[in-house]
Every structure is written in structure tokens, then in C-alpha cells.
Structure 1
Amino acid sequence: MFILQFAMFNWFANTITHRIFISPGDTLAVKQFKNPSRRCGTPLTTTEFWMDANLLTDQVAEPTRVRQARPTSASPVRVRWDYVIVFGVTHVFALLIFLPYFFSWTGVACFAISVFVFGLLGIPIAFHRMLAHKSFKSPKWFERTLVTLAMCTAQETPARWVAWHRKHHNHSDEREDPHSPRVSFFWSHLDWLFHENISPLATFSLYQKYSKDILADPYYLWIERLPQAAGIIFFVHAMLYALIAGIGSVIAFGFTPEAVQMTASIFVWGVIARTVYVWHITWAVNSVTHLFGYRTYDTSDDSRNCWPVAILTLGEGWHNNHHADPAAATVQHRWWEFDPNYYIIKVFSWFGLAYDIIELRHVRKARASR
């Protein structure tokens, strides 16, 4: 029954979503892709953008949205049932937050704190801006701490995450993009994870091209060589979380049913629900911000600035800005496109925990011309 339901949902996502997201006037037969040499289109350069207020406009031409086949890295089609089962079971257990027994304001507070510590410090700042784009550097001990926090979100190893993301930038919304919504919304949001070619040859080729520098670090290489490292780290962190929650609950309530209930509430909210939430806000950057929002820069992909995603991810939703200047540590190109992740990095720099922070392109050009 589960397989039948999954197949029906996958069919729905791959057919109905195209009727929703692609207007009848758009052609679905176009096979050509945009000029691959235009990785980050620059008709509106960052310098011009900041110097000329007339360029602060949302009237950038909409890219032609075409349906395309899955990337060749997903061929031959082979479902990763280990991922399907893990994601499915985790989502089912996350529904426990809707049962009164598992609700507590302490659990909600642990959810919010854990989203920030593991999800936002880990994924946008550590995996994305620090490792994938090298937008800033940190002392090695602090870098590895942030990366370990990121792995507590169950989003794969550093080398694999970085390789996926760099490949996305190199082939954004082209055939080889790992998660373009031009295949389907569901594909870009989640389904692509279920069809990756994980053969040793494919993995070696991916790492050799996109994350060789990451594997030069002995810690990340050790993680990659350790079987199921991501799962082990997540499991250990979950058990430690439960242990700390249990000790705190016993201190507060003694050995009572209330202590058991509080421990369960903290675990469900702080680990399970938080993990699912961080998954979806991360995936939304891959899917939603390539479909909905406004475009300030005429990049060669479908990237958009989407304020709801920016709020949920503390800045990652300003995705068109990011694709226009991916090296920069900030995606704040207008005063109101607030990027809290960048200011967190700046706070780190006050204590020597971040340095060599890459500023926006117009700042870099101004410094280079001095």
C-alpha cells in the first residue's frame, strides 16, 4: 500500500504540478537549454545595481520555463528505498506534535532553539556559505564544530552536500542540475534525493569534480570513509538530546509520569519535528525559490527572491541575489532584503571565529581598483 501511495503521489507531482506551474502558453517541447556559458548573468551588475536607483526594479524579463528530463546522474532510475523509508517514518513521527500529550511550551522552545543551532548555523552558514562557497573562513576547530552541527540535521556528509550544491550552481536549471523544478516541483523539493546514482564510480566522479578540496580535510575524509557516518552522528546526537531532556525533566519533576511526558515532548519537538522542519526549509530553497518571487538580476537560471523563504531561513530566500553573486557572504542587496545569517557571521568575526569574509561584488571591485 505504501509503495502504491508513493507511486501515485510521484505521478501527481510529475504531471499535475506542471499544469500548475507552467502556463498553457509555455511550450513543453523545447529541448534546448540556456547558454551554459552564462552561469551568473550580469546585464545588471552588482556595481550598477547599487549605483543606479533606476536599476532597483522587479521588471527583469521572466525566463522561459520549460519542462526537462531528469539529470543523467539519476539514470538508470533506481529508487533509494532507504531514504524513502527514513524520510517517511520521520514525517509520520513528526505528526505527534499535534497530539496534546506531546505538547509543552518547553518543547516548543527546544524546537526553536534547535532549529537555530543545528539547522541555521549548520546548513546556511556552515555547509552553504562556509564550505560550498568559501564566503568566509573560520578556525579549523570552529569550522568542524559547525559542520558537525549541520550533520545533526540528517542532510548527508559535507563532501556530498557541497558537491550537490556546486553542481547545482554549475548547471543551474539545466539538464544536469540535481534538483531543478523544471523536472517537477516534487522532484526539486524531495524526489531527487530518492533517485541519485550512488555507485562508487558516480560518487568518485562527483567528488573529484566538485568537492576535492573538502576531502583534503582529514576530518571530512574520515566522515566520508566511515559507513553511514551521517546516520551515526544523527543517532548519537538524538540520544544525547533525549538523555539531557530526561535528566532535566527528572530534576524538575522527579521520577514521575510528568517527567516522562516532558522528556517525550522535548524529544518530539526538539529532534523529530525540528529535523522535518529544517529539511523542508532547506528543500524550499531548491524548489520554491526557483518558481516563486521576483527577479532583480537577469541570471541564466530561474532563481528568484522569495521573502517567505528568506524569513524561514534567515536570508537564504534571496536566491536570485545569491545566484547573481554566489561568492559573497551576504545576499542582502537592498536594505529591506534582510540577511540575518550574514550578521551572525559578522558577530563571529568579532570573536575571531570568522575572517576573510567576502563582501558584495561592488565592494570587491572598489577595493581592487584602489
Structure 2
Amino acid sequence: MPSRLINWQVKFFGREWDFMDLYHLTVLLAVHCLCLLAPFQFTWGAFWVAISLYLVSGMGVTISYHRNLAHQSFKVPKWLEYSLAYCAVLSLQGSPLEWVSGHRYHHQFTEKLRDPHSPTKGFWFSHVNWVFDYHSRFGSYDGQLIKNVGDLECQLYYRFLHYTYFLHSILLAVALYVAGGLPFVVWGMGVRVVVVSHVTFSINSICHTWGKQIWDTGDASKNNWLFGLLAFGEGWHNNHHAFEYSARQGLERWQIDTSWYVIKFLQVVGLATDVKLPTEIQKKRKALAKNSIMKDK
């Protein structure tokens, strides 16, 4: 993309917006506008398409982008790794390079100035406004890929997805229209993307605001059972910040973690290896101050 276009800026709402900010704003507005048509375009076929894509793209984000690529919590064969990453691309939450980079910065600078979606900047910033602040997240875009994802950048497949990321959702929208007309597009690309996006956003905002904190993580991360369900296990966020390398985030049997169940299945059939979990010693170390910090907001 021409640097002249990337560096173009316009000022409104009391701040400067660059091309990437407006791009993300336009995409989010478009899918939200599609949702307005949902009551008038409802069919059971469209509904089940949305549910199916919610599962595929949502768990693509949690299993691939988050636990496999960002934290390297387990390994799978390349064909499966790439397939899972492609499922995540269809969530419209960014390319693997962009998503993983932002998440690694989040853990490196949790609730500090360089945290891409720090809750210290306000609830709505941590929920969605950070999406429209590309320069703050990654610095000026000079044609170079994001700096903290060298392990992914060196792979042609991830560079390809980075530069063609939006095209794949366009192709999906076309396929949905061919298969089921406007109802499939409205529910499969509108309702589904909005729900997946806000569920993911809520991990950054709600799960740093409301819930239980049982581990001494030095931040405001919380376990929230509702988003443990909706986000396929990601809502056990205090667990995750305590043991970010863990492939399992629902550490207790009663903490439902759908993503972990899939990873465990892959391990049982021999497809997932080097699956990382916290040891009992590591748990005790993090739980030393447990009684003094436990709180339910």
C-alpha cells in the first residue's frame, strides 16, 4: 500500500485519524449496519450459518491466534496450524501478524502506557476505541511488518495472510450470497462478526473490570464465568494472566474451557504436542497472596 495513503491523516472528533484508523472504523460500522437488517432477513438457514461461523472463527481466534501463535502453548503440524489460522482470519479481527503482535504487547506492558488496549485509559477504550488507534498500537507504518512477531513474519503464509487479510472475508461474503442470498450475508457476516468481535473485546474490557481475581498477577485481570462460556474459555482471564503460557485457561474442572477441550482432543489423537500447563508448584507460587487479593466485583 502506498506510504502516501498510509500516512494520510484527517482530524475530527478532537483527534487525528489515519488511514488504518478509518479503515477499521468503516469495517466495524459496516458490519453493525448489516445487523440492523437481521430481523428482516431471518431464516433458520441463515441463523445456523451464523452459529457455525461463530464457532469456526471464534475458536480460530482462541485456539490459533491466542494460544497457538501468540503464546505458543502447544504445537500442531503446519497444515493444521495454517488451517486454524485461516479460520481466525475470517473473524475480521486482523491478520495473524497484527493480532498476535497486539496481544504480545498487551502481556508485555499490561495496563501500562504501551498496552494496546489498557483499561487504565477507560472502559470504552479497552473495549473498542483502541481498534481505531493504529498508530498508538504499532507506531508509524513504514512498510515494515510488526516487530515482535519475527517467528511468524519469517513464514510466507503469514505474510500472505497479512497483506490479503480482508480479501478472504470478501470472498466468504460472496460465497454466502451465492449460497443463501442476503440473509446468509446479513447473519454470516453481520450478526456473526459483531458478536464474535464484542465477545473478544469484552475480554479486554469486562475481564479487566468485573469478576473474581484469585491469582497474584499484579494487574486487574479477572475470571468471568459468562465470558468463559461465550469466548470458549477466554473469560478465565485472571488464570490466563497468571499462566499465560498455559494451553488450558479453565484450570478448575468446573471452569468450562471449550478451546482447551479441542486442544486436548488434538493431543489425544496425536496432533497436538508440547502442550504447556502450569505445575502445582507454579500454582502455589502464584497463589501465595491469594487470600489477600481475592475479590468479587
Query: Fold-level match, TM-score > 0.5?
Result: yes
Q: Distance in 1 between matches of 2:100 and 2:75?
A: 15
Do structure 1's residue 240 and structure 2's residue 208 form an aligned pair? no
Q: Distance in 2 between matches of 1:112 and 1:353?
A: 26
Matched residue, 1:95? 36
SS at match of 2:61: helix
Matched residue, 1:51? none
Structure 2 residue corresponding to 1:162, chosen from 64, 88, 100? 100
CA radius of gyration, larger in: 1
Q: Any conservation in 1 of the 2:46–2:188 contact (CA below 8 Å)?
A: yes
Matched residue, 1:268? 186
Q: Distance in 2 between matches of 1:217 and 1:362?
A: 36
Pairing 1:45-194 to 2, within 5 Å after superposition: 77-79=16-18, 80-99=21-40, 102-120=41-59, 122-194=60-132
The AA in structure 2 aligned to 1:311 is L
CA-CA distance at 1:221 after TM superposition: 2.2
Q: Distance in 2 between matches of 1:222 and 1:87?
A: 23
Matched residue, 1:357? 275
Q: Distance in 1 between matches of 2:16 and 2:210?
A: 29
Provide, for residues 125-180 of structure 1, a one-character-per-residue CA deviation record: whole Å limited to 9, x for no partner: 01000000000111101111111111111111111111100000011111111101
CA-CA distance at 1:77 after TM superposition: 4.6
Report the aligned-residue RMSD: 2.4
Could you say which structure has the greater relative contact order, defined with CA pairs below 8 angstroms and 6 or more residues apart? 1
- TM (normalized to structure 2)? 0.84
Matched residue, 1:220? 158
CA-CA distance at 1:363 after TM superposition: 7.8
Compare 134-143 and 345-354 and name the one that shifted more.
Answer: 345-354
The AA in structure 1 aligned to 2:156 is P
SS at match of 2:214: coil
Matched residue, 1:15? none
Which structure 1 segments of 5+ residues have no match?
12-75, 247-262, 366-370
Q: Any conservation in 1 of the 2:31–2:189 contact (CA below 8 Å)?
A: no
Q: Distance in 2 between matches of 1:288 and 1:171?
A: 18
Q: Any conservation in 2 of the 1:325–1:361 contact (CA below 8 Å)?
A: no
Identity %: 34
Which structure 2 segments of 5+ residues have no match?
1-9, 284-297
Instruction: Specify which structure has the higher proportion of strand.
Output: 2
CA-CA distance at 1:300 after TM superposition: 1.3
Q: Distance in 2 between matches of 1:315 and 1:140?
A: 24
- TM (normalized to structure 1)? 0.68
CA-CA distance at 1:290 after TM superposition: 0.3
**Number of residue pairs the alignment of both structures matches:** 270
